[in-house]
């Protein structure tokens, strides 16, 4: 943790043009401590609020956000870079998640355990943890916040959110709207600043009970180490390198569309993006030809421009990392089928644009095969069948999502059992359901978001033993 207070301002810039789109304070350790103090002060009152009332005010907050969806989507596009259509989807998803957990408020339950002993029964009491810190990256600034905010608030915790340094604006506006809709002071706050300073101060604060972190695997490991010093609860949603398997009996057109959306949505900057593609050799030529044609049709442009399908990468370092991964890989082998360079279209020079890129059969130890590729570049390999596909798919330290495309339900069932990943889609992809638990295996994370399972990560179970006096 830095010893000095960071003062100053962060200038937020549009990834498509470099233009300034806003300024926010760069908070340091003192502001972090003040926010945690307010959250700690608000906690007892929020905990005492009946769960149904908490749910009602959280739902009112979600409705207030939905009413401003277009304004928020534009803000999100300007700071993040994604096409407006995708920004609208993101805000809608945020609202649905919050509403989902608001709806569960009335179903929070403990347990009654009869006959533990003579005249003795037990209770399992669920209670909130206290102050939760939510640390969120820039790729989906609002949905990744909503995944934490919904269950945390409904269970009675208060929350301090730290958005990525480069995407604070939409988050600040959401907090303002939810406060106006009735969330009490101190229950949900946002502090803006650098993760290396502000994030560390928040994680290290002894009054913080839990850290819900989404971001890269290296930073997640570091946050977990810091949290361990205070035996704090952590949820980690980290990097991924999701495999997609296409067998020879698959609906090829549907699978091609899914691969394209899966890799190029949000300019490839999704934890759940399709990052490794394994196609049965009998359909590989057809598949590759169709995917290459589709990739060539993706219209690049600013997120605010009409018809844009692929926006810029979020930042210059993001593009540089991707360029390094692609060029190092191609030096080792593989055939470049599309892209592999910056585009030279009108108005694209000022942003962090990169062409949709497909690489056929790069070495299995190349960077695009073993690292997380957080941009629009996809490696494709031919496989001889299901066993080889599963073996390749599992040869990764990540284990977030995965998918298989086949009409053979037996093959799909085997894949669903054997794939080392927290999520497996069969003939589907990318959609994360509030009803189902989401979270990575291996170095992709710890704990779950979404589903009823998320509630377990924002409550502590306490045992109570009740012995009746003899009568
Ligand atoms: P990152 O560098 O790890 O940053 C994530 C967040 O952590 C940001 O708010 C960042 O703040 C903060 N941070 C940085 N250093 C910190 C520190 N020392 N202590 C506390 N907080 C710190 O992640 P990213 O590269 O920007 O985001 C993309 C990554 O997120 C990818 O790996 C992606 O797969 C992963 N992701 C995972 C999921 C999932 O659900 N599994 C979902 C989406 C994304 P600053 O911005 O100020 O540095
Ligand atoms: Mg970072």
| 413-423 pLDDT, tens digit each | 999 999 999 99
The CB of 367 under 6 Å from ligand 1? The reply is no
Q: What percent of the chain has pLDDT over 90?
A: 97
Contacts of 409 by beta carbon, 8 Å cutoff, 6+ apart: none
Phi, psi (rounded to 5 degrees) for 363: -55, 145
Q: Identify the nearest ligand to the CA of 195 by its number.
A: 1
State pLDDT tens for residues 80-127: 999 999 999 999 999 999 999 999 999 999 999 998 999 999 999 999
Neighbours of 23 (CB within 10 A): 14
Q: What is the pLDDT of residues 40-51, one digit of tens each?
A: 999 999 999 999
Q: Does residue 4 have a pLDDT over 90?
A: no
Q: 111 forms bridges with which residues in the sheet?
A: 124
Residue 413 CB: number of other CB atoms within 10 A?
A: 12
Sketch out the chain's domains with CATH numbers: 3-238+444-464 (3.40.605.10), 242-433 (3.40.309.10)
Q: How far is the CA of 424 from the centre of ligand 2 (A)?
A: 27
Contact status, residue 271 vs residue 400, Cβ threshold 8 Å: yes
- Listed residue (363, 322, 357) closest to 337, CA to CA: 357
What integer pLDDT is reported at residue 336 of this predicted model? Answer: 98
pLDDT computed for residue 3 by the predictor = 32
pTM of this structure: 0.96
User: Which of the ligands is closest to the CA of residue 216?
Assistant: 1
Question: What pLDDT is recorded for position 5?
Answer: 40
Q: Ligand 1 in contact with 68 (CB < 6 A)?
A: no
Ligand 1 neighbour 245 (Cβ under 6 A): no
Residue positions annotated with a catalytic role:
237, 271
The whole-number pLDDT of residue 345 equals 83
Among the bound ligands, the one closest to the CA of 220: 1
Quick: pLDDT tens for 273-288: 999 999 999 999 999 9
Q: How far is the CA of 294 from the centre of ligand 1 (A)?
A: 31
Q: Quick check: 42 and 185 in contact, CB under 8 A?
A: yes
Tell me the average pLDDT of the chain. 96
What is the pLDDT averaged over residues 226-251? Answer: 98
Residue among 324, 253, 332 at smallest CA distance from 290: 253
CA distance 209 to 40: 10
Mapped onto helix, strand or coil, the DSSP state of residue 355 is coil
What is the rounded CA–CA span in Å between residue 144 and residue 163? 10
pLDDT at 7: 57
Q: What CA–CA distance (Å, rounded) separates 375 from 203? A: 29
Closest alpha carbon to 160 in 187, 181, 179, 185:
187
Check if the beta carbon of residue 102 is closer than 8 Å to that of residue 154.
yes
What pLDDT, on a 0 to 100 scale, did the predictor assign at position 339? 97
For atom 43 of ligand 1, the residue with the nearest CA is 271
**Ligand 1 contacts CB of residue 372 (under 6 A):** yes
Residue 6 — pLDDT band, cuts 50, 70, 90?
Answer: very low
pLDDT for the residue 346 = 82
Indicate whether 259 pLDDT > 80.
yes
Tell me, in angstroms, the distance from the centre of ligand 2 to residue 195's CA: 8
Segment 424-438, tens digit of pLDDT: 999 999 899 999 999
For the Cβ of 15 lying below 6 angstroms from any atom of ligand 1, the answer is no
Q: Is the CB of 194 under 6 A from ligand 1?
A: yes
């Amino acid at each position: 943790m830095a010893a000095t207070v960071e003062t100053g301002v962060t200038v937020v810039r549009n990834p498509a043009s470099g233009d300034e789109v806003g300024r926010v304070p760069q908070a340091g350790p003192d502001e972090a401590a003040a926010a945690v103090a307010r959250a700690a002060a608000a906690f007892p009152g929020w905990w005492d609020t009946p769960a149904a009332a908490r749910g009602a005010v959280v739902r009112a907050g979600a409705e207030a956000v939905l009413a401003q969806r277009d304004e928020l989507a534009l803000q999100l596009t300007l700071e993040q870079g994604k096409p407006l259509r995708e920004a609208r989807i993101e805000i809608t998803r945020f609202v649905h998640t919050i509403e989902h957990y608001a709806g569960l408020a009335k179903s929070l339950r403990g347990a009654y355990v009869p006959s533990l002993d003579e005249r003795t029964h037990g209770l399992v009491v669920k209670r909130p943890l206290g102050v939760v810190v939510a640390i969120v990256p820039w790729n989906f600034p609002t949905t990744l916040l909503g995944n934490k905010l919904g269950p945390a608030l409904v269970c009675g915790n208060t929350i301090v959110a730290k958005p990525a340094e480069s995407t604070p604006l939409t988050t600040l506006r959401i907090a303002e709207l939810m406060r106006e809709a009735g969330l009490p002071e101190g229950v949900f706050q946002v502090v803006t600043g650098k993760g290396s300073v502000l994030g560390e101060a928040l994680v290290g604060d002894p009054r913080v009970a839990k850290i819900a972190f989404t971001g890269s695997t290296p930073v997640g490991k570091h946050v977990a180490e810091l949290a361990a010093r205070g035996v704090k609860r952590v949820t980690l949603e980290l990097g991924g390198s999701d495999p997609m398997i296409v067998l020879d009996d698959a609906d090829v057109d549907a699978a091609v569309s899914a691969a394209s959306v899966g890799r190029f949505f949000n300019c490839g900057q999704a934890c759940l993006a399709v990052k490794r593609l394994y196609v049965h050799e009998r359909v590989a030529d057809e598949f590759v030809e169709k995917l290459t044609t589709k990739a060539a049709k993706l219209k690049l442009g600013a997120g605010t421009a009409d018809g844009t399908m692929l926006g810029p990468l979020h930042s210059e370092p993001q593009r540089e990392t991707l360029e390094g991964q692609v060029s190092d890989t191609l030096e080792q082998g593989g055939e470049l089928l599309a892209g592999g360079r910056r585009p030279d279209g009108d108005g694209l020079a000022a942003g962090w644009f990169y062409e949709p890129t497909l690489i056929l059969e790069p070495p299995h130890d190349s960077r695009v095969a073993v690292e997380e590729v957080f941009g629009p570049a996809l490696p494709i390999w031919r496989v001889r069948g299901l066993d080889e596909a599963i073996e390749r798919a599992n040869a990764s330290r990540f284990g977030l999502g995965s998918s298989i495309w086949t009409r053979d339900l037996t093959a799909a069932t085997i894949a669903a059992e054997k794939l080392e990943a927290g999520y497996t889609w069969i003939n589907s992809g990318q959609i994360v359901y509030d009803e189902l638990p989401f979270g990575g295996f291996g170095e992709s994370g710890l704990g779950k978001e979404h589903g009823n399972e998320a509630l377990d990560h924002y409550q502590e179970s306490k045992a109570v033993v009740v012995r009746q006096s003899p009568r």
